[in-house]
Chains A and B, each alone.
Chain A
Amino acid sequence: MPAMMMDTVDGSFAVETSGLVRRFGAMTAVDGLDLRVARGTFFGFLGPNGAGKSTTLKMLTGLLTPTAGTAKILGHDVVREPVEVKRRIGVVPEELALFDRLTGGEYLEFVGRMYGMPLSTVRQRSGELLDLLGLGGESSKLLVDYSHGMQKKVALAAALIHDPDVLFLDEPFEGIDAIAARLVKTILARLLERGVTIFLTSHILEIVERLCAHVAIIHQGKLIASGTMDELRHGVPSGAGSRMTLEDLFVSLVGNPDESTGALSWLE
């Protein structure tokens, strides 16, 4: 009964899905996903390539409609109350989706205004964000002329400009240099202190291990493990579980034992 109570209290969870399904034709990309992410946590969403991470994220952020099941963000249903959801979330999508014929400054201004923010606030924040990310000097350059890493930073800035409560980041560390990565980590830590929930997918498990208090692993659209690092280690049958890194855990949970010792005939 207490568990039921938890479920029905509005906004208990930052992210909550139940039986979430998404099919593409005959193919099931996300298969009955039940996720719960408490508010204010740093949540790592892991899985091998093609596991369904981005598909899940797109359903949570309004880019894809679920085939079945429900998803709630801060107690608001993503299908029935999309505007309430979108007001509260920030998104860095997997494929960089910028308006590349705007300058960095214009783009951030555009995004801020799309959230209905007053122009003066938008300008102030976009200036601060660009300065913080080391793009202050580039604000009058068209985004198409930015490098990949710079575009990634602008995408992050755009996701932050309206001060979201839940931040969805699909592989934010891909393609940025070590200095920028550290900067992003610092910013994320500061957001976490402010009570922002961060939902992150990444293939860089060292970063996930260091940052994320909670981790979930999906494989072929299904949740195969979730919990804190310690809880995950307990789930592993082998006795050495207690000293395993996230990478070891990931491989042991997801990897196919037959393929794990891959061999190439001409290297024998």
Chain B
Amino acid sequence: MRSRLKTLLWFKLRLAAHSLRSVAGITETVITTLMILMGAILAILLAGTAVLVMLNVLLSPSPPDMILHAYTLAFGFLALFALVAPFVFGGAKAELDPARLLSFPMTKRELYGITLTTGALSGANLVWYPAIAALWITGVVEGWINPLTGLAATLLATLCFVGWQQLIVGLFRSLLRNRRLRELLAAGGMILLMLLGVLPNVLEKGKHAAAGGGTSHAQLHLAWLRPVFAAMPNRLAARAALRFDAGAAVALLALALWTAFAIWLGWRIFVWALERPDVHSSGRAAPSAGRRGLVAGPVSWLPPDAGALAAKQARYVLRSTAGKISLVTAPVFGIFAGVLAGKATHAFLGIPMPDLVFLGLCLFAAGFLNNMVFNIFVWDHGGVALYFTTPTPPRRVLLGLNTGLAAIAGLLLAETLITWSLLRGVPGLLVLTSGILIFANELIPLTIAGNVISILSPVPRDIGSPAARASGASGFVWMGVMTVEIVISGVPLLLWNTGAKPLIPVLLGVILVLELGAYRLLLPTLGQLLERRKERLLEALAGAPGS
């Protein structure tokens, strides 16, 4: 077992070293290292803050209670950090799938032990171990905690956090093997995250509402949570570390139970995952995806090959997690902008605020699909070979893919416009036309810039992953294009308060025609670029996992 463990650790090191052999690998590693460094700084900062809080509360009337509070918080933070670290730092995906080791002569139990150990020693964890150690050392130095129970509590807490972390990683990894489930989870997770982002606001509002009366309803309803919080591992660890009494022993025992439960449950999941048939190759029919007319119909005016490319691209966006998420977020932006506009009363440059917000919303909507516009080959993987083995000229490949994305962008704009109209009524014809024109005026330069970046630095992604993001440059380019577009489209808007107001959409239309002309002129050059970068593109995309 020991020698195998060594082999595996060596193997993981080799995997990491090999990933350094390509430019993309190096970029990825540099980014990961930076993120780990940031995480480490964050951990140290938070541990430092915890210490400062503790120092501060020493001066307050009942310090022991406050220290307990601070330690509970610190342990809680570290537990949370441990749970998310493998996902934030990508370890959960990059790690070796234990199922692949089954072909070696090892029992499942050994395999589980090895998985746990290598997991505990992964880079993501090395970030917070020093922080939890610092917590103990500070406590001992300051004389707040008993060195012995403190050490036991810290060690047990570490083990407990790692145990739960590995359980979640294991669960995630086994779910990862089921494509549909994984895609659902990714979409669901993103929506949940978005909801979580809104939650503090809602709670704040609730608080304000309840501020009038004495005990709020919320407090009454949440009273049962107190014992639950008291039984959480972080609280138990803090309790055991800080007071040397019978209660500490009980807390330690409870902590040990938490840990044992995590390891046992992790084991059950591990076994379940290993024994599950590979979902991927089971021949069950997938739900039909064959709604031909929906996507193929509207693009029939294009040359057949470009139309086929556009339909393919549109289908891919609609079948991707990132695309589905944007279908959900687009109306959210419409609501957001509608509410925002309702609050504003003043005018800017003579344009009433609601109209200005509407125009801004249209401008912004052009960027909903940014990640895909700047990474048009994102899910094509080996399929890109077809672009080069068929007689379709490269410029038409780009035209087709761009048109597909533009169609979905239009769909998203329609979604936002509908939600806006439901909230605030349909905008006037002039404002509506101007908005749609501004949207189109923004989309075209984005598309051109996006093609260049897509060709020069394509980033293959799993279609089930919520991210479709291209290289880091794309964010800056978007900002740049948007700034330029605000200036260009802003000029006609200066006519708002003059008699020439009806000229605004006309001028915006002239800009659109000019941009379309530029796009047409540039497409062959973009196509040449695509042809020139063919081999690099194939290399970057073809080897990548298909799903």
A binding-site residues for B, Cβ under 8 Å: 61-65, 83, 86-87, 89, 91, 93, 95-103, 105-106, 109-119, 138-142, 144-145, 147
Partner of A106, one of B283, B315, B385: B315
Report the Cα distance A118→B312, complex, angstroms: 17
In the complex, per-residue mask of B286-330: 1 if CB is within 8 Å of any chain A CB, else 0: 101110100010000001110111011001100110000000000
B binding-site residues for A, Cβ under 8 Å: 179, 280-281, 283-286, 288-290, 292, 296, 303-305, 307-309, 311-312, 315-316, 319-320, 379-386, 388-393, 463, 534-535, 538, 542, 546-547
A101 touches B379 (CB 8 A): yes
- Nearest CB in chain A: distance from B310 CB, A: 10
A99 touches B286 (CB 8 A): no
| Subset of 7 A-B contacts with CB under 8 Å | A63-B535, A96-B382, A98-B382, A101-B320, A103-B289, A105-B290, A140-B285
Q: With A63-B538, A86-B389, A106-B315 in contact, is A99–B285 under 8 Å at CB?
A: no
A113 touches B179 (CB 8 A): no
Inside 8 A of A139's CB, which chain B residues have their CB? 290
A97 touches B386 (CB 8 A): yes
Q: With A62-B388, A117-B304 in contact, is A103–B290 under 8 Å at CB?
A: yes
Report the Cα distance A147→B382, complex, angstroms: 17
Q: With A101-B379, A115-B391 in contact, is A140–B308 under 8 Å at CB?
A: no
Q: With A98-B382, A109-B308 in contact, is A142–B286 under 8 Å at CB?
A: yes
Q: With A95-B542, A97-B542 in contact, is A65–B308 under 8 Å at CB?
A: no
Partner of A145, one of B286, B311, B390, B534: B286
- Nearest CB in chain A: distance from B21 CB, A: 13
Inside 8 A of A98's CB, which chain B residues have their CB? 382-383, 546
Report the Cα distance A144→B546, complex, angstroms: 8
Report the Cα distance A83→B463, complex, angstroms: 31
Inside 8 A of A117's CB, which chain B residues have their CB? 304
A100 touches B385 (CB 8 A): no
A101 touches B309 (CB 8 A): no
A141 touches B285 (CB 8 A): yes
With contacts defined as CB atoms under 8 Å apart, how many contacts are there between chain A and chain B in the complex? 116
Output the residue of A113, A115, A116, A142 with the most chain B CB within 10 A.
Answer: A113
- Nearest CB in chain A: distance from B111 CB, A: 27
Report the Cα distance A140→B386, complex, angstroms: 21
Output the residue of B316, B386, B542 with the most chain A CB within 10 A.
Answer: B386
Q: With A102-B315, A140-B288, A147-B283 in contact, is A97–B382 under 8 Å at CB?
A: yes
Partner of B388, one of A63, A103, A106: A63
Partner of B463, one of A61, A89, A101, A118: A101
Inside 8 A of B319's CB, which chain A residues have their CB? 101, 142
- Nearest CB in chain A: distance from B290 CB, A: 4
Report the Cα distance A62→B280, complex, angstroms: 33
Inside 8 A of A97's CB, which chain B residues have their CB? 381-386, 542
**Which chain B residue has the least Cβ–Cβ distance from A114?**
B390
Pairs A-B, 4 closest by C-beta atoms? A97-B382, A113-B308, A86-B391, A97-B385
**Which chain A residue has the least Cβ–Cβ distance from B397?**
A114
B463 touches A91 (CB 8 A): no
Inside 8 A of B179's CB, which chain A residues have their CB? 144-145
Inside 8 A of B392's CB, which chain A residues have their CB? 114-116
**Which chain A residue has the least Cβ–Cβ distance from B282?**
A145
- Nearest CB in chain A: distance from B392 CB, A: 5
Inside 8 A of A65's CB, which chain B residues have their CB? 534-535
B312 touches A99 (CB 8 A): yes
**Which chain A residue has the least Cβ–Cβ distance from B288?**
A140
Report the Cα distance A212→B305, complex, angstroms: 34
Q: With A63-B385, A103-B289, A141-B286 in contact, is A115–B380 under 8 Å at CB?
A: no
B390 touches A86 (CB 8 A): yes
Report the Cα distance A118→B391, complex, angstroms: 15
A63 touches B534 (CB 8 A): yes
Inside 8 A of B290's CB, which chain A residues have their CB? 103, 105-106, 139-140
Output the residue of A62, A93, A114 with the most chain B CB within 10 A.
Answer: A114
Report the Cα distance A144→B312, complex, angstroms: 15
Report the Cα distance A118→B381, complex, angstroms: 27
**Which chain A residue has the least Cβ–Cβ distance from B303?**
A116
Extra A-B contacts (9), CB below 8 Å, given A89-B389, A100-B381? A62-B388, A97-B385, A97-B542, A99-B316, A101-B379, A114-B309, A139-B290, A141-B286, A145-B283
Inside 8 A of B388's CB, which chain A residues have their CB? 62-63
B391 touches A147 (CB 8 A): no
- Nearest CB in chain A: distance from B186 CB, A: 15
